[in-house]
Amino acid sequence: MNAAASVEEFAPAKVNLSLKVLGRRSDGYHQLESLVVFARAGDRLTAHAAADLSLDISGAFGAMLAGEGDNLVLRAGRLLASELGREAGAHLLLEKNLPVASGIGGGSADAAATLRALKRLWDADVSEEQLAALALSLGADVPVCLDARPAFMHGRGEQIARLEALPHFALLLVNPGVEVSTACVFKTLAAPIVAELPTASEAPRFSTLDALIGWLEANGNDLEGPAREIAPVIGEVIAAIGATRGCRLARMSGSGATCFGIYASEDEARGAADAIARPGWWLAAA
């Protein structure tokens, strides 16, 4: 098979429906457990054949990354090239539609999309296990973004159980235009050190939306409290979402500040977006 001249990959937002922090490990990472889904809102990465590795960024949030001399996309490209023993040649175009530092894995999704795109562009003979190892070296959230399907994550992100199916529902994503540092959120949480790593819980199963909502009500996001201390507007966003018609659950994703609402239909999610839209807030019904 010949290498492609150009390929495109979608990098969907990663939403932590739940996020439990089990403790801080001796290696400095946190032991986590999280139910993750991917929204039909995200960035888009295009890779063109080229002699050298380069990156151009566009999109609503592209300017926020324009000043970076390096980022996860370029690091992913160089890492895969090194693994393959080849020159890192590709012209990458990133359409940045997701807010930066917003708790929905935009950078991780972009890095995963880069690995997928360059594997196709270069017609690379690299296994899924190799890609997963490369992804983990780039960041804890990158491996789950390689295959954008619902998953139950454990550990620092390396233990991933894909879920066969979830009940149909729609999401409303809302970011108030505030960046929240993940490191600061974990520092505020001050999770205790775990001497022995706990065994991964069994991946949950849900036959109905009611069952999913019930499980989520019992399994929250441990980072929401610390994030609200840093950025109190998060509480305002959650309250606004929760007050919309049809909202089944309102919560923060990841380390914030993006929050989400769960609805039975996309029409309800779009109606909620119209109801709470305000200047400076980013909203996406998906």
DSSP for the chain? -PPPSEEEEEEEEEEEEEEEEEEE-TTSPEEEEEEEEEEEEEEEEEEE--SSEEEEEESTTGGGTTT-S--HHHHHHHHHHHHHTS---EEEEEE--SPSSSSS-HHHHHHHHHHHHHHHHTT----HHHHHHHHHHH-TTHHHHHS-S-EEEEETTTEEEE-S-----EEEEEE-S----HHHHHHHHTPPBPSSPPPPPPPP--SSHHHHHHHHHHS-BTTHHHHHHH-THHHHHHHHHHTSTT--EEEE-TTSS-EEEEESSHHHHHHHHHHH--TT-EEEE-
pLDDT above 90 as % of the chain: 88
Q: Would the annotation count 85 as a binding residue?
A: no
Can you read off the two tokens belonging to residue 101?
């530092």
- Residue 14 annotated in active site: yes
Share of the chain above pLDDT 70, in %: 98
Residue 271, annotated as binding a ligand? no
Q: Across residues 111-133, what is the average pLDDT?
A: 97
Question: What's the whole-number mean pLDDT along residues 93-100?
Answer: 97
Distance CA(195)–CA(89), nearest Å, equals: 45
Bridge partners (DSSP) of residue 282 are 175
Is pLDDT of 69 > 70?
no
Mean pLDDT for all residues in the chain: 95
Residues sharing a CB contact under 8 Å with residue 190, sequence separation 6 or more, in sequence order:
none
Q: How confident is the model at residue 1 (pLDDT cuts 50, 70, 90)?
A: very low
Q: Which pLDDT score is estimated for 197?
A: 74
Give residue 196's pLDDT: 78
Cβ atoms of residues 43 and 97 within 8 Å? yes
Residue 3's pLDDT is: 66
Q: Is 103 one of the annotated binding-site residues?
A: yes
Please report which confidence band the pLDDT of residue 29 belongs to, taking 50, 70 and 90 as the band edges.
Answer: confident
- pTM of the predicted structure, to 2 decimals: 0.94
104 is in an annotated binding site: yes
pLDDT tens-place string over residues 238-278? 999 999 999 999 999 999 999 999 999 999 999 999 999 99
Asked if the peptide bond before residue 250 counts as cis, ω within 30 degrees of 0, the response is: no
Task: Say whether 155 counts as a known binding-site residue.
Answer: no
pLDDT tens across 152-199, in order?
999 988 899 999 889 999 999 999 999 999 999 999 999 999 877 778
Number of C-beta neighbours around residue 69 at 10 A: 5
Residue 34 pLDDT exceeds 70: yes
Ligand-binding annotation for 177, yes or no, is: no
Tell me: pLDDT of 67 over 80: no
Which of 14, 43, 110, 222 is the catalytic position? 14
Contact 272, 245 (CB under 8 A): yes
| Other CB atoms within 10 A of residue 22 CB | 18
| pLDDT at position 217 | 98
237 labeled part of a ligand binding site: no
Answer yes or no: is 143 a known binding residue: no
pLDDT at position 187 is 94
CATH superfamily of 170-285: GHMP kinase, C-terminal domain (3.30.70.890)
CATH 1.10.760.10 given to domain 6-162? no
Name the catalytic one among 43, 110, 141, 222: 141
Residues spanned by CATH 3.30.230.10 within the chain? Answer: 6-162
**110 given a catalytic annotation:** no
Beta bridge partners of 44: 10, 95
> What stretch(es) of the chain map to CATH 3.30.70.890?
170-285
